[in-house]
Amino acid sequence: MPLRINETAPDFTASTTHGPISFHEWIGDGWAVLFSHPKNFTPVCTTELGTMAGMEGEFRKRGVKIIGISVDPVESHDKWKSDIRTATGFDVEYPLIGDHDLKVAKLYEMLPATAGDSSEGRTPADNATVRSVYVIGPDKKVKLILTYPMTTGRNFDEILRAIDSIQLTARHQVATPANWKQGEDVIITAAVSNDDAIQRFGSFDTVLPYLRKTKQPAG
């Protein structure tokens, strides 16, 4: 069965550019983003990993660790880093998993089951589904899953925006509307009565009987 939101993210051990890890232990008590790419030394992936390197501080502010993965070996990741720096100006300092035996890619449904058992001889086209993003919470549950086609580089600002929403709504009984950004009004969930909403949020606007908006709660 495909991995679903609110399921426990599969644990695994793997070799990375920072040495061996056990995934759940590596996450610890915080948040994590696991993101995959089709193949090293390819153009879109080079821009993506450099962009993520430049944004690592923003993820860190939110208590989020980032870790990349492809079916290339760790040695290839290390060699590729200089190209990423040349193309984007950023050094990749977060760990990259070398999933040469496709174990993690299959565990997270990144590849078809018929993909074989090795990355040997694979082309980017063989790895077309491996441009995925998993946001994982401190409870080790999957909070967000995104999968992009091979030719479409990801918008990592959107991933940060989604994390802001997920973390906010985990702390308060609110939801976020379409295109919401940090600091904008939020939606009060149906589980909160009007009287309770006044106590919690001070005031709110009733747009429709089932749509109540209020200022973003602090904290």
Question: Residues with catalytic annotation?
Answer: 45
Structure tokens at 63: 């208590």
150 with 124: CB under 8 angstroms?
A: yes
Burial label, 33 (beta-carbon count in 10 A; 0-12, 13-18, 19+): buried
The residue count for the chain: 219
Q: Beta partners for 213?
A: 187, 205
Q: Look at residues 195, 194, 187, 190 and name the one whose alpha carbon lies nearest to residue 217.
A: 187
Core vs surface per residue 175-186: b (16+ CB within 10 A) or e: ebeeebeeeeeb
Q: DSSP label at 10?
A: P
Query: Measured between alpha carbons, how far is 216 from 59 in angstroms, rounded to an integer?
Result: 20
**Residue 19, SS3 per DSSP:** coil
**C-alpha distance from residue 40 to each of 95, 114, 171 (Å):** 14, 22, 38
Q: DSSP label at 147?
A: E
